[in-house]
Structure 1
């Protein structure tokens, strides 16, 4: 019997005879049998068959791992939605990069807003908190399992590592865990946690149109939604034109309001294909090549480009708005129409899976506004620190220079990130579940989709769920893993001063795999 199967046996032995445990045991046995079968067959399959096998088996792995998270964390009623369950059960071809927004969301000319996806049916016997099953790893056991990996020269000059038991929130292991290091994109975990705490998982970002009676013009008001699509903008133009006709209004000009965000629109890294200018009004993150994620050429003035396109769309519906100009909506402006983004829970998942820098910076500014700070870099920095400290997290000497991790001025510790993930799994914080569900799955989705395919790491495919971080000389991995005894652990490994990106990624993946393969006692 393999180590993981022995772990599940211990869980079953401690479960008791109730119907709840009978159901849970059945699922766990199925997951263990499938896992053992995959390990036996994996090395004999050609690459094409491996891909098909992973796709077909992803539902079983996802169910087993999700059950481990549920057992440690408690009810998911407020964080797990039907749509999320469907995506977890059927792996999409683009590894989570496609996110469909409502066709015509938002309150429009008297219509009710489109409804958010309905919560999954509650299942108290399955979702209620369970006793921590299996023994937690010991510090000595973890030190032995991680010692060689942490000494790997591929991890560079400075390494911070931390492992936290999700069931208890106790820090099990640290090695340089309190060192403030450059986190790269793993800082998006902090951005996501702060945004969900300050705004709530059902919050939506709204782009609207209003009528300025004094100037007799339509104003397109940016709401800080970088996920605004051409389809949604077209629907907004149609509804705006309809509202103008119904109210017998004839605009002379079209204005656009970008006062939602303040401060410098350029990120400190300057013009960069990884990030658009920080504007509250942009179409498809100001991409000019039709792409949906990753580096891309961007509009130099995203708001002006959207306004020009909106004028064209209005004209298609018989409304000639004249020239476009930057303006600010007056207090007596009359609402015409609106479009709203997907709920924040979905935006956070998209940001983490795709490592979306534009979305991260937008959410950092919305967090600032929600906490009474200005919507600029300073305000976002202060808001993140304030919100995370309020959750009882060890912010210490952390510095949140930006929301995306593109800045090298950010500093966080491995212990902060691991503790943050344990907090997100706690039953007291169901609003933070998207932090867990949004992280890429090793070997399956997002920025981990092409990793965990080597002989040294393949056993952790589907078991590790983590956010990556990569800058020149900086590599990081922070997430959750189910160990061989069925214990859910949160971990963070931060490496600064690396020389080879590929070698550093492989070393980090081996560390996460070591956690997956051991009981560490």
Structure 2
């Protein structure tokens, strides 16, 4: 990909702008293409203007730190900064970086392929050998997709398999949970492997019947909702904890506190054995279409044979657009790891380091540190200055704006403004007592600004007990005040820095 001349902002220029604003940090993050931007000399940064936002920050009454940088998106001129050099948790704004990283290494048109492989010949409707469900790292594979693959298998005349039914998830390194510090039951913190299904979540359903409950697990999608046998749940007579989890090998075992259940409901729980989960669901769907299979077993190596059916994912750029819209952590981990495999990384820990090293080599990164690719882990760090550097030098040329959501502005009563005078697109990020926003503002006169706003009370976040990490007391109100501050800053910047 050729570089847009408008993105060629020199490191010296950006640093001089930060120094003028009192930020003084090296810029971070990575370009979409490997050639380094051409440096331009003789440019100067803007004078310090951080004082104009002091009243907004005071009104927000946020504990912890507030850091932000806003710059001219075309030239990189830093217009205003406060604490912009301070590394802070990016939360889900890290997905901006992961998107650029994946696009650079895999390409916008890349597709992930899931295959059904017969290790022996097919004769008279019988596979003389094993049948293998082989994942290709697709983060969006669904139960409906497996149903379509079963239909293709049946349409090819296959009715039985003489050997084993194997599942293979080795296309990506296995990760039991994205962030091990999170509670077991959070559906947005599942396992990641080369064979994923339904974002590696299983649907727990319950309904009161008499003095007890009818409970179960299913893998519902739009067209299919098969019962799941690789995960079970039992109701326990206790007040807490709400959930317990045990990996029983071939079966994941959950219990739920009776006191936490109402009349009926459902909840997505994370899956820790996605390969067996996918095999379980495929097995059930196959049986429904008259294809007899043995119980799924895990293949330790990629088997060879004939592809009898396959499913290709959507193009990577479309996957990334939905990842940014819905902030799906598992998608970020899968595409980030797939990108790092191109660079020789063999684990998720190594992949985070590799992504940071790539940023250092391509953009002179000094503050970026990634514990994952989704931003879920609170240990990840990047400065607001570095994030804006990404948006200025890399994001515009990569069309990252098209992957971001419009910012929804609200009035003083919390009602959405239908036609706001300011247009902005951005990626949000939220953790307990952490709220971040990074993107672009189109100010009056069509001047485009790039910005990053990072707020976080790290000490308060770290002090939350595990049992309260899903909804800690005070976090929702804190995040609400942070989001109000973010909107106020954007509106003021649009007024002050219009063309």
Q: Is TM-score (shorter-chain normalized) higher than 0.5?
A: yes
Distance in 2, matches of 1:461 and 1:386, equals 40
Distance in 1, matches of 2:498 and 2:73, equals 15
CA deviation profile, 1:338-361 (whole Å, cap 9, x unmatched): 111111111111111111111111
CA deviation profile, 1:21-79 (whole Å, cap 9, x unmatched): xxxxxxxxxxxxxxxxxxxxxxxxxxxxxxxxxxxxxxxxxxxxxxxxx99779xxxxx
Out of 132, 142, 145, the position equivalent to 1:232 is 145
**Equivalent residue number for residue 35 of structure 2:** none
**Equivalent residue number for residue 358 of structure 2:** 387
Distance in 2, matches of 1:171 and 1:519, equals 11
The DSSP-based 3-state class of the residue aligned with 2:405 is coil
Distance in 2, matches of 1:203 and 1:390, equals 24
**Equivalent residue number for residue 176 of structure 2:** 265
Q: In structure 2, do the counterparts of structure 1 residues 332 and 222 end up closer, same or farther at CA, with 3 Å as the change threshold?
A: closer
User: Is residue 194 of structure 1 aligned with residue 105 of structure 2?
Assistant: no
| Count of equivalent residues | 374
**Aligned 1:257-296 pairs, distance under 5 A:** 257-267=168-178, 268-270=180-182, 271=184, 272-289=186-203, 290=220, 296=268
**Equivalent residue number for residue 165 of structure 1:** 72
Higher percent of residues as helix: 1
**Equivalent residue number for residue 518 of structure 1:** 496
Distance in 2, matches of 1:348 and 1:340, equals 16
**Aligned 1:444-459 pairs, distance under 5 A:** 451-454=409-412, 458=417
Distance in 2, matches of 1:137 and 1:515, equals 20
**Equivalent residue number for residue 440 of structure 1:** 405
Distance in 1, matches of 2:432 and 2:313, equals 33
Distance in 1, matches of 2:160 and 2:302, equals 17
Q: Is the 8 A contact 1:185 1:355 kept in 2?
A: yes
**Equivalent residue number for residue 339 of structure 1:** 311
Q: Is the 8 A contact 1:72 1:425 kept in 2?
A: no
Distance in 1, matches of 2:384 and 2:295, equals 52
**Equivalent residue number for residue 349 of structure 2:** 378
Structure 1: unaligned runs, 5 residues or longer = 1-69, 75-135, 444-450
**Aligned 1:287-326 pairs, distance under 5 A:** 287-289=201-203, 290=220, 296-326=268-298
Shift of 1:221: 0.8
State TM-score, norm by structure 1: 0.65
- Runs of 4+ aligned structure 1 residues displaced above 4 Å come to 70-74, 455-462
Q: Pairwise CA RMSD of aligned residues?
A: 3.2
Out of 410, 430, 437, the position equivalent to 1:477 is 437
The DSSP-based 3-state class of the residue aligned with 2:66 is strand
Q: In structure 2, do the counterparts of structure 1 residues 266 and 354 end up closer, same or farther at CA, with 3 Å as the change threshold?
A: same
Q: In structure 2, do the counterparts of structure 1 residues 465 and 439 end up closer, same or farther at CA, with 3 Å as the change threshold?
A: same
Higher percent of residues as strand: 2
State TM-score, norm by structure 2: 0.68
Out of 423, 426, 448, the position equivalent to 1:463 is 423
Shift of 1:219: 0.5
